[in-house]
Structure 1
Amino acid sequence: MLVLLALPALLASPVWLMAVVLKLLSAALPGRRPDWAMDLLRWCAVMAAVAAVGLYLIGLGAVDVAAHESASGTDSAPSPSCRDIPPDVRRHLAGYRPSYLPLGFDCVLDDGTTFSSSALYTWLNGLVAACGLGAAALMVAWGFATERRARAVSPAVPPAPRP
């Protein structure tokens, strides 16, 4: 089910990349608008948020595919995602545990410990967090810059005296 969300995110990735490149080129070339810096800051914040959501959806799809492969079919035991672990550890496999927040697919050993099936999820979690925090930081910077610009345009009005 979650794969249906991941496929559009995966297919939209090249379009997102082209939009980012074109926007950065339009900001670097002469003839840009006078408020190009504020526009670029806001646009980068939105694109970072879109990247975080897209990467998370792709990760959800990857976890869902791994869980589906492990739950169905004649070749599902041991889990296909857990077959790459060392043979001495593979003998102690007892099951698997998908995780959707944070993204991950862990192989559970018979003593209850877990063994990560892939470093892909570590990278995806890091990229989602970096894009999300970057989007938040850019939005805060845009808010501060907007406030600073508004204060610079309006003259300072002294407070009215108290009667």
Structure 2
Amino acid sequence: MLALVLFSGFVVGMAAALVLVIRGARSASRRGRKLSRKPKDLALILGGAAIGVYAWGMAHTGLAVMQAEDGGAGSFPLKPCRDTDATKAVRVIGYEVDFVPLRFECRLDDGTRYRASSVPDYINPAALGLSLIAVTLAAAVVISRDDKSMRKGTHT
């Protein structure tokens, strides 16, 4: 069930990312577009990129969950948890998935956990950085719009 949620998040996230990036790029490429509108367009593009990167990480996590749930020959220790030394891998009794930050963790018999390398290391920092820049640009656009409306006297 968790793998289905992760892969659904991947599909929805990639669709949203594509829409935002295309909308921002089309808007930014219009001739005669005022320079003051460019931060809004860039915020859309970077927001779409942030969603796309996070969705890509969800696909990696979903694949790790599918491998962990796959039974049969060669299923012990869990495939995503084999990237450590063999003495630690044979002590794995389960796994956990965290969404913020996105990660797949292997749970050991003593209750400790360690992060598997299923989610690439660049996913969380890239998603965080892109989203912070996008939110900052969007906030600047809103503040600028409010400032202009107050100068014109149209602010309520």
TM interval, short-chain normalised: 0.7 to 0.9
Residue equivalent to 2:134: 135
Q: Report how far residue 76 of structure 1 moved.
A: 2.4
C-alpha distance in structure 2 between counterparts of 1:15 and 1:144, whole Å: 25
Contact 2:83 2:116 (8 Å CA) reproduced:
yes
| Counterpart check, 1:6 vs 2:10 | yes
Match of 1:53 in 2: 51
**1:82 corresponding residue in structure 2:** 81
Q: Distance in 2 between matches of 1:107 and 1:147?
A: 49
Q: Residues of 2 paired with 1:21 and 1:34: CA distance?
A: 12
Q: 1:139 to 1:148 in 2, by over 3 A?
A: same
TM-score, with length taken from structure 2: 0.73
- Counterparts of 1:105 and 1:45, CA distance in 2: 30
Assess, with a 3 A threshold, how the Cα gap between structure 1 residues 9 and 144 changes in structure 2: closer, same or farther. closer
Alpha-carbon distance, 1:13 to partner = 7.5
Once superposed, which parts of structure 1, at least 4 consecutive aligned residues long, lie more than 3 Å away? 7-24, 119-122, 147-152
Q: Give the corresponding residue for 1:93.
A: 92
Q: Distance in 2 between matches of 1:85 and 1:14?
A: 36
Structure 1 gaps, min length 5: 156-163
How much has 1:3 moved relative to structure 2? 2.0
* TM-score (normalizing by structure 1): 0.71
Tell me the secondary structure at the aligned position of residue 84 of structure 1.
coil
> Where does 1:1-163 land on structure 2 (aligned, <5 Å)?
1=4, 2-7=6-11, 26=29, 32-33=31-32, 35=34, 37-74=35-72, 75-118=74-117, 120-150=119-149, 154=152
Q: CA deviation at 1:149?
A: 3.9
Residues 52 and 132, structure 1, Cα contact 8 Å, conserved in 2: yes
Distance change (3 Å), C-alpha of 1:85 and 1:55:
same
- Paired residue for 1:158? none
Q: Number of aligned pairs?
A: 148
Task: Report the aligned-residue RMSD.
Answer: 3.1
Q: Distance in 1 between matches of 2:19 and 2:146?
A: 33
Q: Match for 1:90: what amino acid?
A: A
Question: Which has the higher mean CA deviation after the structures are superposed, 73-82 or 131-140?
Answer: 73-82
Percent identity (aligned): 24
The question of whether the paired residues in 1 share the 8 Å contact of 2:64 and 2:80 is answered with yes
- The DSSP-based 3-state class of the residue aligned with 1:120 is coil
Please report how far the alpha carbon of residue 71 of structure 1 lies from its aligned counterpart in structure 2 after TM superposition.
0.8
CA contact (8 A) 1:104 1:122 kept: no
Shift of 1:114: 0.8
